[in-house]
A and B are shown apart, each in its own frame.
Chain A
């Protein structure tokens, strides 16, 4: 569970930093009438949707961290045989990363009012997202054909379960992305649609980061890294 505790420590640090800005030491009973609202005032405060997505990503982060914790704890058993990683996963990673790049391009274009470029980038991102999912299914097929079945070994089970869970999150992202594409059909792309694009981009970058961590985990580099840390610490 140490991975989870590290994740929580990060969340706690963010929460602590935020609380430290909230005048937690003030004496509210002495402050009548005066207000010390640290929130940005005026017509355009931070969009609630952005904060909402941030909190949601923390929850998703907790979810994957717990899966990773479980992976490490189960790994300690003697019956553990690592699953070989299909080469295809490299291609999939590249596809997911280009999807992320496309969404970033869409966001930048929308902010600079180059609407057509933005729309094209969004469609490209959607196609790349679908391609990633198809690629993942092919990677699964490759493994099952080679005899690495779900129940064969706990490492296989974890691989299928966690990549499946990641895939479900990508599917959710694709649904949101499709809705965003529909919202950008209006001319010109309005502020609301631009916000949706920004949110999609953030989500995609996050899921890319999660995937890279997972890929490192399954390939065993995460292990080497942790061994290294352990050696340094002891």
Chain B
């Protein structure tokens, strides 16, 4: 136990600045393009992810057009529809959400929030981005390849994924998809090592683990999970590549294709499902945990109150991370399994609801009697809580084997995972962008455009996905290109589908306002100053805004307190930055 309040003026003699071997860019190219500065890499990651995300958004429009107005658009045939589904799902989950949370926010916030000059391995960090970009380009190239992209569904289940009945199965589509995923995973591993080791080794003096903002806890835990879970996808991709290119039979059973007996035999499609979901379920939390962390910080900052139950929040993040590795087979109830396995996985699945619910309570209790500023980050954070609770509740339905089996192939599942893993994290991403944009650019985003963006997105998302639960309950199947006539689905379901499609078009279009806002505000936004939200965490205490290369000028910050000293009784202001030593003897202990 060391008391670092030494020195006569109450302030500590700053940590001697070591000879940090910082890479110094020498030209425009190395400063802005092949940069090793985590902040530039973060912007590169985020821009690429948003760009490819817009492609996925347009794909969802096309799918909705087909579902709302079947047969009206001749160019959307069944093959294209499945290609759109596949690419939409894969892009959104991996290339947008994972890349934006970890590559984008991770790169920007980890060094700044921890008081480090940069990531510990800047060169690997740069490579990570360029491999990611390459992965995205390979993925996009499949749109132009013979046969088009793969239409195997984002789960890429064999044997159908590599057969001629599936678009891209015998063409380039599936190969490009697998190659792209392999590149992404290699690139991510390079970045992920950086994030983990920077948290372990790069923290400023006094920044103990229990003083880290929850954003960092979320990103850190998610990165550890991703490092352990992505290898499963890697293995699955490599083995499927072997099956498809070299004719092995890892996943391929004896099968007749177009009246012709194939060479394969004995392979196990279930093996692929195990590998895929061993990655796939942690992936949900790889996306959710950074969102949890970020939303905790947004709520605390904009309600001017310390986060309720900080320790429990940290433990919950760690427990969720650990539990999420033992629930994967709940995606495979309908594949057939030993009932005891089903029982085990249903139990673990439902147990995850405990730490998750705990987090929701703590967010709500943080808001309780807080000085809530209903600005844009707060609006998005509130939107997230509501949406996440909704999506989480339907998750309890689907976690039960007996309820899942009839609902598994209906729109109910689509509604569930879009609420919990689509809309909810995206709302956090928006909130986070409105929150940290002033630090990245030095200017505020336009408020009016932001309000329009929030209300249309939030209300619109509910208008899209709420009715979808109902469609699922009455039995409308998912993955179907065309429903045709059925005895059990009433005609009104079609009207509802049209309505959903129209709302989806509007919600998609309003994202253009957001993109315009991002670009417009770089020059025309209101000047933000260094700490517009009067926040405590270190990234708002940099000497310059936007922070320069090296972040902190000559001296690294020293941390004296946790990240949530808002509205401390007796303090001159309603926030005390983490690197501020005084006011002395003013703690919550003496205050309460």
Contact = CB atoms under 8 A, between A and B. Distances in A.
B225 to A, nearest CB: 11
B249 A36 contact: no
B258 interface: no
Contacts of B265: 79
Contacts of A33: 3-5, 560-561, 581, 584
A73 B562 contact: no
B502 to A, nearest CB: 45
B162 to A, nearest CB: 14
A161 B581 contact: no
Contacts of B203: 39
Nearest to B2: A35
A161 B243 CA distance: 11
A234 interface: no
Contacts of B496: none
Given A5-B326, A66-B235, A28 B242 contact: no
A3 to B, nearest CB: 12
Contacts of A37: 2, 205-208
Contacts of B239: 70, 161
B50 interface: no
A137 interface: no
A28 B211 contact: yes
A211 interface: no
B193 A157 contact: no
B210 interface: yes
Interface stretch (B127-135, B164-172, B311-319, B538-546): B311-319
A51 B201 contact: yes
Given A32-B587, A55-B193, A157-B248, A23 B268 contact: no
Nearest to B224: A15
Contacts of A11: 228
Contacts of A191: none
Given A19-B318, A25-B311, A59-B228, A77 B266 contact: yes
B588 A29 contact: yes
Contacts of B278: 1, 4, 66
Contact of B561 (A32, A76, A158): A32
A29 B567 CA distance: 13
A165 B584 CA distance: 58
Contacts of A161: 238-239, 242, 248
B1 A8 contact: no
Interface stretch (A40-48, A201-209, A222-230): A40-48
A45 B201 contact: yes
Given A11-B228, A70-B271, A35 B246 contact: no
A150 interface: yes
B250 A154 contact: yes
Interface string B320-334: 001001100000000
Contact of B208 (A22, A25, A78): A22
Contact of B210 (A22, A46, A150): A22
A73 B311 contact: no
A193 to B, nearest CB: 15
A63 interface: yes
Contacts of B49: none
Contact of A48 (B197, B267, B559, B581): B197
B585 to A, nearest CB: 8
A62 B231 contact: yes
B231 A63 contact: yes
B275 A66 contact: yes
A29 B587 contact: yes
A22 to B, nearest CB: 4
Contacts of B121: 48-49, 52
Given A24-B209, A154-B249, A58 B589 contact: no
A34 interface: yes
A27 interface: yes
A1 B325 CA distance: 11
Interface in B1-25: 1-5, 18
B494 to A, nearest CB: 43
A151 B560 CA distance: 63
Given A24-B209, A43-B18, A74-B271, A66 B231 contact: yes
B186 to A, nearest CB: 11
B196 A55 contact: yes
Contacts of B207: 37
A76 B268 CA distance: 10
B354 interface: no
A39 B193 CA distance: 19
Given A32-B560, A35-B2, A43-B18, A67 B208 contact: no
Nearest to A60: B231
A36 B560 CA distance: 11
Contacts of A59: 189, 192-193, 227-228, 231
Interface string B494-506: 0000000000000
Contacts of A27: 311
Contacts of B410: none
Contact of A35 (B201, B205, B274): B205
A73 B209 CA distance: 40
Nearest to A45: B201
Contact of A151 (B249, B275, B325, B561): B249
Contacts of B197: 48, 51-52, 55
Interface in B560-592: 560-562, 564-565, 581, 584, 586-589
A79 B266 contact: yes
B231 A150 contact: no
A75 B196 CA distance: 36
Contacts of B250: 70, 74, 154, 157-158
A58 B589 CA distance: 42
Nearest to B16: A43
B1 A34 contact: yes
B247 interface: yes
B210 A24 contact: yes
Nearest to A52: B197
Interface string A156-178: 01100100010000000000000
Nearest to A34: B3
Contacts of A51: 197, 200-201
Contacts of B263: 151
Interface in B237-261: 238-239, 242, 246-250
A78 B268 CA distance: 11
B311 A63 contact: no
A43 B196 CA distance: 22
Given A33-B581, A51-B197, A63 B562 contact: no
Given A28-B310, A70-B275, A157 B196 contact: no
Interface string B179-202: 000000000010011001100111
A30 interface: yes
B242 A35 contact: no
6 contacts: A12-B322, A33-B581, A35-B205, A59-B231, A70-B235, A78-B266
Interface of B: 1-5, 18, 120-121, 189, 192-193, 196-197, 200-203, 205-211, 224, 227-228, 231-232, 234-235, 238-239, 242, 246-250, 263, 265-268, 271, 274-275, 278, 306, 310-311, 314-315, 318, 322, 325-326, 559-562, 564-565, 581, 584, 586-589
- 9 closest A-B pairs by CB: A79-B266, A28-B562, A157-B248, A35-B206, A63-B231, A48-B120, A48-B201, A62-B231, A22-B209
